[in-house]
Amino acid sequence: MKPIRIAVLGAGVVAGGVVHVLQRNQAEIQRRAGRVLQVVAVAARNPAKAKAALAGLDVPVVQDFEALARRDDVDIVCELIGGTDLARSLVLAAIAAGKHVVTANKALLAVHGSEIFAAAREKGVVVAFEGAVAGGIPIIKALREGLSANRIEWVAGIINGTTNFILSEMRSKGLDFDTVLKEAQRLGYAEADPTFDIEGVDAAHKATIMSAIAFGIPVQFDKAHVEGITKLQAADIRYAEQLGYRIKLLGITKRREKGIELRVHPTLIPATRLIANVEGAMNAVVVHGDAVGTTLYYGKGAGAEPTASAVIADLVDITRLHTADPDHRVPSLAFQPGAMQDTPILPMAEVVTSFYLRLVVADKAGVLARITGILAEHGISIDAVLQRESDEGEAQTDLIILTHDTLEGEMDKALAQMQALPTVLAPIVRIRKEELK
C-alpha cells in the first residue's frame, strides 16, 4: 500500500519534533497506522535555517507554503506555523484542494474554527487538532470519543505551562509576580513577550475549543471571560495556603440551566484536589461526566516532542480513516453537524461560583459586622473568615473572607458597597474559588 504523504508547513520547534519522531519511530507508527507516513516536504520562511535544524533527516525544504499545501502528491497538510491570518489562508487553501489538515494552532481554531470546520465538511476532509490543547495530553480524543457516552457537566484545566510555573514558584518561594516572571524568561519557560500567556489569552483559546467539544456548541472565543495572573500578589497565595487552598490559572467551562460558562481566571482550589498539586510547567485537565464521574488528564502541555506526539496521533487517525465515508468519521467537534446547538455563553454576572476576598480595613470595632452585613444583604453566605495583621501598618488589618456559591452579579454589587466604606483602605482583592467536587 502506498505511503500517506504529508506536507509540513512551518519549521519551528514543533515541526522539527514531528519530523524527528516520525522518522525515529517509523516502524512502530507504521504498525499502528497500517501504512508508511512520509513527509514529502517542509515549508519554511528561511530554508537554509530549516535545513540546518533538520540536519540528518532526508526531508526536502521549500519556501512556497501555499504551493506545497496544494501539491498533488500531498494527502495531509500539517499546519505548524502559528498565528491566525496566514495559517487561516493556508488551511483553507489546503481544504479547497481536498487535503486533510492537522494543526496544533489553538488561536486559529478558537477564532476561525467555525469557518474551517464548515469548509472541511463541504469538501469531505478531516481537520484534526489534538496538539492544539494541552500538548501531549490526549484531551481532545477523550472529550470527543472516550467520553461520548456522557453528558459532560464541566471541564476545568491548567492549560498554560508558563503561568503554572510562575504560580508554583510564587507559592514555593514566596516571591512576587515580577521577580518570578523574569526567572521564567531566563529559564525559557516564558517568552520574551509573555502577554498571551500571563494575560490568560492562550488558556482561553484552549478552553474555547474544549467547551465546543464538551457541549456541542460553536467555538466562541470572543465570548470567553479572560483574566490573567499579572495582578496576583504573594500575600494572597500565602493566605490561600493557610486556608487550605492553592491558586491556579484555570480554564473553566460549565453547563448551566440557562447556558454555558466559559472563563479563564486565577482560581482557588482545595489543596487536597489532585489538580491543585500540579506544579511547574505541567498541564492537567479535569472532566466531570454524569456516567463516568470525574476524570483527570495530566502531562506535558508544550515542547517539541510532547506536542509532536499529539500531532502524529492525528496523522495516524487520518491514515486509518483515509478511505472512510466522510459521513461516518468522528465529527471535528464530537457532535454531528446537524446536532450542534447555539446554547448561549453566559455573561459573567450570571456565573455562579464562590469567592476569596481580601480587604485591608481599619483596625476598629464594628468593621467586620458592617462587611458581613453587606454580604448578607446580597444573599452571600460566608464559609470562613481569617483576620491577620496587615503588612501596611499597625492601625489596619487584612480581613480574608471565603464565601459560598453566589451569583457574580450580586458579588459585584456587594464589592462596590464595601469598597465605598471609609474603613476599607485599599482596593479589595477578589479571586474566584472552585471546589471541583
Of 356, 366, 376, the residue nearest 417 (C-alpha):
376
The cell numbers describing 156, all together, are 476545568
Query: CB atoms < 10 A from the CB of 27, how many?
Result: 8
Query: CB atoms < 10 A from the CB of 182, how many?
Result: 12
CA distance 281 to 11: 24
User: Which residue's C-alpha cell is 492544539?
Assistant: 132
Is 123 among the catalytic positions?
Answer: no
1-to-4, 38, 47 alpha-carbon distances in Å: 9, 13, 31
138-to-110, 130, 188, 298, 307 alpha-carbon distances in Å: 18, 7, 24, 9, 10
- The SS3 call for residue 293 is strand
CA distance 156 to 376: 29
Residue 174 near residue 234 (C-beta atoms within 8 A): yes
| E strands, 10-124, in order | 37-43, 61-62, 76-79, 100-103
Strands 396-403 and 352-362, sheet pairing: antiparallel
208-to-222, 263, 264, 328 alpha-carbon distances in Å: 9, 9, 10, 25
Of 369, 358, 363, the residue nearest 401 (C-alpha):
358
Query: CB atoms < 10 A from the CB of 177, how many?
Result: 19
Catalytic residue among 141, 206, 248, 254: 206
User: Which residue's C-alpha cell is 490573567?
Assistant: 228
Catalytic residues: 206
